[in-house]
Structure 1
Amino acid sequence: MQQFFSLNTLKLNKNYTDLEKDAHHMLNVMRMSLGDTFRIVDIDNKVYKAEITEVSPLTYLTIEEIDVQKSNISKTVICPLLKGEKFDFMIQKATELGADVFLIYEADRAVVKLDDKKRKNRLTRFKKIIQGASEQSKRLTVPTIEFVGNLKSIDLSQYDLNLFAYEDLNFTKSESLIDVLNNNKKFDNLSIIFGPEGGFSKKEIEVDNLSFVKLGERILRAETAPLYMLSVIDAVME
């Protein structure tokens, strides 16, 4: 059953016309019609089964409230832009795997550099990708995404745990990801921090409040590492 998001508070057994932005996709792409049903998530994260009662304007009736288990941990992905379509792929799959926030920082060794205009255009595209992935994966919230400054400019003290995926397998401060998670069971929000294709600079690994973790004995691609970590967090903590 396809899922969509409403920006309003919904009530059971009420008619609504607030999906104008999705009407073309629903009626012309998905080929939905009168009597078809779908899931709708309102601004309060309540989920309903809804039925199309009119097509012009698109109107739906909430016919059933659906009980959905919510995640107890907020997960922020802190990463730089990646080359080509790697970043698009990463945010799409990370959204499916439970990321709640994406912070795009200016890495010292980043390959991709954008001016303000290009950043604005990229953000528009990224938000569309995240929206689509949120609907497809039937999650309750749509992750946010924004550009920030360098890694040091981010206030990491706001997170209970900052998992820093350092690529140097010989770095003595790094611990097994699973061990770190098992030793830090009580937290509500965490960040996972990744570097660009060229890796972290020496200055970046000296940022405060970091928990260095290793992701096994293989070097993962920049777009793969966040997905691996989100999957492990979900398996261990959820």
Structure 2
Amino acid sequence: MKWKDIFLEKAVPFSGEERYLNQLWVPVKEETPKRLPRSDPSYFKTIGFKLGAESVDLHNQRKIQDKIRAALKQLTFREEHVIVQFWSPHVVGMHQVLTTKDQPCGFGVTEEHLYLFRKDSEQNLYVVGNIYEDGDISPPTRVFKRGLPEWTSDLTNYSPQQYPQQDLAISYKLHGYLALPVFDSTIGLCVGVIEVLGSKKYMSFAYEVQQIHEALKVSFK
């Protein structure tokens, strides 16, 4: 599927000062996979094990996806060149993994490089487990495990081991990085990670954190 084949939608434009900010273009609907594919290295770049049978609560996953998608439609950003992705946990065999494939995402502008970065992200599958050292996993995995946010003004502050997509992101002029855990207050657990990448090297992501927090609070109430 090509960029032009994706159907995107925007929420109703804001008024007041927020009309000068940038909303996301959000794909209308992602399909929830009935199962992740079995061992297929051409499909996923997987860290640490081969894929096997999985166990997923599809009903609860769909509910969370709908809430995240609703939250993304409420977000505004200080720049256009931004991509937002949701990383969701799945159980595969005896392991828990994070994936962003078929999960909600949003684009600040309909730009080809953002789409290509999204397609690369969808191929990554990260193992979540205590047997893996923190320095060898991705920011979404660290955020999910710790339940704490992670950010940097410039992706060059990471090593390739700390952020596997570093070279690709920088080549597409993505520099600022933010990853936030998403908690469902009804069950008291982290249900995923929202990841934000943009072209600006902001020294503070306080605005983005507040926007995401407020949007999630409305969606998960």
Q: Radius of gyration: which is bigger?
A: 1
Considering the TM-score relative to the shorter chain, is it more than 0.5? no
